[in-house]
Amino acid sequence: MASRKTPAEQPRPATSRLASRLERATRVSVELLREEKAPHALIGGLALGLRSAPRATQDVDFAVAIDDAAAELLIHAFQNSGFRIDAVLVNKRDRSLATVRVREPGTKILVDLLISFCGIEAAIVRGASVERWRGLTVPVVSRGHLIAMKLLANRKQDQADLESLLRNLPAQDRRQALQAVAEIMAAGRADGRDLVRELRAVLRTSRPSWPKALEPRAWRPKRRR
């Protein structure tokens, strides 16, 4: 009797493989942050997907509310778990740790730990809410704080992310974003920029997304003849 051939396993799409790698890197990082009792919140592209609309990303980002001494211990903990340090960025003004970039050993995914990048990491962590992503429970930055961080970073991708975050923005998130950028300036992390003025300008130019049937021109009162 002829043996049956086992169907060859179909290769997973690249996007599915990347999502699995991101999930593993996030899970391992969260476990380490919890073990080291480092208050944290998920930020960046993954957080954007939970707060606004999903977009492609290839790294994992956290805000971590700790001082430089605790950050050194945290870095050692990541290294002892096999992570490799890719970069250490310091703030020009006071030489404090801004961001530590490490690479997860199993997936090679980059993980950014923002220690004092914007100066309000503690407020970001306090304002985070616990969400579920791919079976993982993790604190996620609020929409208002994410807007403030995107405005501060101000790269091309951050500008596109801002457009997504500002659609149908609730008044509470608007107020939080304005307060956050003011606190970033007070912390000396705005690099001379007037972030409050910049955000107000962006808010003025942003428009809500109307369903087609409810666009303003569709329900404006007709002029009397």
Per-residue pLDDT at 14: 58
| pTM recorded for the entire structure | 0.84
pLDDT in tens, the chain (225 residues): 444 544 444 444 557 899 999 999 999 999 999 999 999 999 999 999 999 988 899 999 999 999 999 999 999 999 999 999 999 999 998 999 999 999 999 999 999 999 999 999 999 999 999 999 999 999 999 999 999 999 999 999 999 999 999 999 999 999 999 999 999 999 999 999 999 999 999 999 875 544 444 333 433 444 444
Per-residue pLDDT at 206: 79
DSSP 165-179: HTTT--HHHHHHHHH
Per-residue pLDDT at 113: 98
**Residues 87 and 138 sit within 8 Å (Cβ to Cβ):** no
The pair of three-digit structure tokens given for residue 144, joined into one six-digit string: 């208002």
For residue 28, the one-letter residue type is V
113-143 pLDDT, tens per residue?
999 999 999 999 999 999 999 999 999 999 9
Q: Measure the CA–CA gap between 121 and 141, rounded to whole angstroms.
A: 10
**Residues 47 and 141 sit within 8 Å (Cβ to Cβ):** yes
| Structural element, H or E, at residue 142 | none
Q: Measure the CA–CA gap between 53 and 166, rounded to whole angstroms.
A: 11
Per-residue pLDDT at 13: 57
For residue 135, the one-letter residue type is G
Helical ranges in 55-142 per DSSP H: 68-80, 121-127
Tokens 């919890």: give the residue: 34
**Residues 46 and 57 sit within 8 Å (Cβ to Cβ):** yes
Per-residue pLDDT at 208: 52
